[in-house]
Amino acid sequence: MLKTRQILGCSSGLVSHRWKPYSSTGSRQVSFISISTCSKPLLLSSSSSSSTILPTTTTLLLPGSSPRRTRFGAFSMSSAHSGPNPGGPSSSVAVQSAGNVRKINFCQWCGGPTKHEIPDGEEKIRAICTVCDKIAYENPKMVVGCLIEHDNMVLLCKRKIQPSYGLWTLPAGYMEIGESATEGAIRETWEEACAEVEVLSPFAQLDIPLIGQTYVIFLARLKKPHFSPGPESSECRLFALDDIPFDSLAFSSMVVTLKLYAEDAKAGQLKFHYGIINKKPGTSPSDIHAYTLDYHLQS
């Protein structure tokens, strides 16, 4: 969900979670369970309708598990590239990492007028209140969502809102204050697809510096064989890997995520991916096939 939510026809209930340790037999690392109810469920149908990186090593420790070494290696995408996600309120804002700053004219604390200059000891232009001297710091937004696997298919939602009305996306949206990334992903899946899911493991983290967004996508499974469109979706549907509508996806983040998933699934081994989505110079934000996936690391 990439705008203020309006809950129509869906009522969520108790949310609980359970963590499971990593198993050397190949079981996934995290189990997070959400319990909720939804009216008018829809029964599932069985029909299917580079950059060079220096390898690095890190340690991953989850509750109830022991540390394990995770090797990240270099990767390059040979497929067509696409650009930053145009969705969300921050889509028109060039963040400071790109060399720009959003024009903030008034202080959010006292309402006084601001000036734009580099504060002492810093390197970037900030909005500074001329009355109370407070500095307005802007931080990226985190988008969380679920890539739901079922019978070798994935669940996509057709957007009923702007931006990207009528295009397909994974159920995802902005993480809210007071919730974890997994809680936010489960909530967004419920709101957009009325689907009860169990989060299995993280799949991808994709940074989009130009618009100040970071995507965290989790692999998940349906707890019940039912789903239906939420208030921001006009349709929910399962797609086989070869039927994923790559030319009708809503955002470049969805293109990258689903391409990586399809490649992993066909290779028989799902990995965790990190990458930076950069827009090709001179292209429109709506051109989802004009990106580079840089600094791509995979476990």
At residue 5, does pLDDT exceed 50?
no
How much is the pLDDT for 280?
Answer: 86
Single out the residue of 21, 11, 1, 15 nearest to residue 198, CA to CA. Answer: 15
pLDDT: is 193 or 1 the higher one? 193
Residue 158 has pLDDT above 90, yes or no: yes
Q: pLDDT at residue 286 above 60?
A: yes
pLDDT tens, 160-216? Answer: 999 999 999 999 999 999 999 999 999 999 999 999 999 999 999 999 999 999 999
Identify the weakest region by mean pLDDT among 29-38, 214-223, 268-277.
Answer: 29-38
By the 8 A CB rule, do 181 and 256 touch? no
Q: Looking at this protein, which amino acid is placed at residue 138?
A: E
Burial zone of 281 (CB within 10 Å; 0-12 exposed, 13-18 middle, 19+ buried): exposed
pLDDT at residue 128 above 90?
yes
Residue carrying the six token digits 């990458």: 275
User: 2 or 225, which is more confident?
Assistant: 225
Range name among 24-38, 185-199, 234-248, 254-268 with the lowest pLDDT average = 24-38
Tell me the HSE value of 196 on the side-chain side, using a 13 A CA sphere.
Answer: 21
Tokens of 215: 């995507």
Q: Provide the pLDDT for residue 102.
A: 66
> Three-state SS for 160?
coil
Residue 197: which residues within 8 A CB-CB, separation 6 or more? 34, 146, 148, 186, 189, 190, 220, 221, 222, 223
Task: Note whether 73 and 297 are within 8 A (CB).
Answer: yes
- The pLDDT value given to residue 1: 52
pLDDT on residue 275: 98
Quick one: which of 12, 31, 9 has its CA closest to 20?
A: 31
Mean local confidence (pLDDT), 22-38:
38
Percent of the chain residues topping a pLDDT of 70? 66
Bridge partners of 294, per DSSP, are: 276
What is the arithmetic mean of pLDDT over 212-229?
A: 97
Tokens representing 57 are 């090593």
**What's the confidence (pLDDT) of residue 30?**
38
Counting Cα atoms < 13 Å in the Cβ hemisphere of 64 gives: 10
Q: pTM of the predicted model, to two decimals?
A: 0.68
Beta-carbon count within 10 A of 280 CB: 13
User: Is the pLDDT confidence value at 8 over 60?
Assistant: no
CA dist 261 and 218 (Å) reads: 11
Pairing of strands 141-150, 135-136: unpaired
Q: Is the pLDDT of residue 224 over 60?
A: yes
